[in-house]
Amino acid sequence: MRGLGPDQPVRVLLLAIPETSGSALYGMVDVLMATGNIWQTLVGDAQPKRRFDVRIVSINKEPFACGHGIPVYPACSIEDACEADLLILPEIWLGPEESIRGRYDALMAWIQSKYREGLAIYSACSGSVLLAESGLLNNCEATSHWGYQAMFRTHYPQVRFRPESNLVFARPDQRLVTAGGTTSWHDLALHIIARYVDVGEALRIAKVYLLKWHSEGQLPFAGLVRRTPHADAVVRRCEDWLSDHFNDPHVIGHLMTTVSLPERTLKRRFKAATGTSLIEHVQNLRVEAAKRLLEEQNQPVEDVAHAVGYEDISFFRRLFKRLTGLTPGEYRRMFQSLVVSGEADQSIAVL
């Protein structure tokens, strides 16, 4: 990467393909292009200056529609010179059971070549799937939307996936950075501005756009229970039974009375079919139910623990913190504040 002088805007390439999310793509364009000038224009306390030169790059320069039919007009193609200092891979629309393997072989080679040339490469949300497919994340830590954990485990086992984190540096040189769930492009944009301009400008942009740094990570937002497609009918019946009886304090023992398999065999088949151990599945069901109670009711945490099947309150608190990143009290304050704010906004709208 070239040395950046104080008057030289940072040259950014934003990759767009048909699967790209338009909101992440153009949100990043807008925020980076406004850096150095929008706050200065609003308050008039400094000379506006463009700090980033942002261009959209794609497979070719032909206009196309990305996610939800949003039009894209690439400034350059991967076959052009495309000189830049950094490359950003925004979120793509890709189901957690889908694979992008084989769709963009030329693009994968191009991403690898940009890294070899010295560019820093950043991904937001599922944009990290492209980085994983390129092989650049092999034997590295990375994150993405929490819903892609199973995909990474299946298709990219060489990647050490961290669903709890919102920003992960893959290598010591910090030239590969992945960001977490959908609106984590906000965090990524602020990180890029702080890194290439300064922290003060990142804070100013956050104030202008009302961007929030998600310091709590992704765990509070992650769904813990997800049905994984599989062909084991016995395990599927167990999953259905557990959905109705998870709050039984002796649920595993009572489950065993409903199936004609040894406990060790069932546990082995359950883990093979779902990717989760039997006890982990029960814990996920219980904590997910506890989350709903904390969001919707004000009963004491002890009552919540008992309602979902835990008699040991301290164990419940430790488990809840491990799976969500927050204590039960912190979780209630965080998500009930969203409900209260929403109700207040509706009241104001009626008035």
Residue 273 sits in a domain of what CATH number?
Answer: 1.10.10.60
Residue 240 and residue 117 in one domain: no
What lies within 8 Å, CB to CB, of 283 at 6+ separation is 319, 323
Domain boundary among 158, 192, 221: 221
Query: Distance between CA 171 and CA 146 in Å, rounded?
Result: 21
Residue 307 and residue 255 in one domain: yes
pLDDT at 30: 95
Query: Is 172 among the domain residues?
Result: yes
pLDDT at 75: 95
Tokens linked to 143: 């994150």
Query: Distance between CA 134 and CA 94 in Å, rounded?
Result: 16
Query: Is 272 among the domain residues?
Result: yes
Per-residue pLDDT of the chain (351 residues; tens, 9 = 90+): 444 555 789 999 999 999 999 999 999 999 999 999 988 888 877 788 999 999 999 999 999 999 889 999 999 999 997 889 999 999 999 888 888 888 999 999 999 999 999 999 999 989 999 999 999 999 999 988 888 888 898 899 999 988 777 788 888 888 999 988 767 888 889 889 988 998 888 888 888 888 876 665 555 555 666 777 788 899 999 999 998 999 999 999 999 998 888 999 999 999 998 888 999 999 989 998 898 888 888 889 999 999 999 999 999 999 998 888 888 988 888 777 544 444 444 433 334
Counted domains in the chain: 2
Residue 143 and residue 290 in one domain: no
Query: Is 344 among the domain residues?
Result: no
- Report which DSSP code applies to 214: -
Residue 203 and residue 258 in one domain: no
Residue 179 and residue 49 in one domain: yes
Residue 204 and residue 277 in one domain: no
pLDDT at 215: 60
Query: Is 351 among the domain residues?
Result: no
Burial category of 330 from C-beta neighbours within 10 Å (exposed 0-12, middle 13-18, buried 19 and up): middle
Query: Is 3 among the domain residues?
Result: no
Residue 199 and residue 71 in one domain: yes
DSSP-assigned states of every residue in 43-104: H--S-----EEEEEEESSSS-EE-GGG-EE--SEETTS----SEEEE--B---TT---TTT-
Closest by CA position to 152, among listed 167, 137, 174, 165: 137
Residue 205 and residue 326 in one domain: no
Query: Is 119 among the domain residues?
Result: yes
How far is C-alpha 261 from the chain's CA centre? 38
Residue 257 and residue 132 in one domain: no
Domain boundary among 181, 196, 221: 221
Residue 271 and residue 323 in one domain: yes
Query: Distance between CA 126 and CA 155 in Å, rounded?
Result: 14
Residue 59 and residue 191 in one domain: yes
- Note down the domain range covering 308: 233-338
How far is C-alpha 240 from the chain's CA centre? 28
- Report which DSSP code applies to 232: -
Query: Is 343 among the domain residues?
Result: no
Burial category of 61 from C-beta neighbours within 10 Å (exposed 0-12, middle 13-18, buried 19 and up): middle
pLDDT at 135: 94
Domain boundary among 221, 246, 279: 221
Residue 23 and residue 150 in one domain: yes
pLDDT at 349: 39
pLDDT at 223: 62
Query: Is 346 among the domain residues?
Result: no
Strands 71-72 and 64-65: antiparallel
Helices (H) and strands (E) in the chain, counts: 14, 11
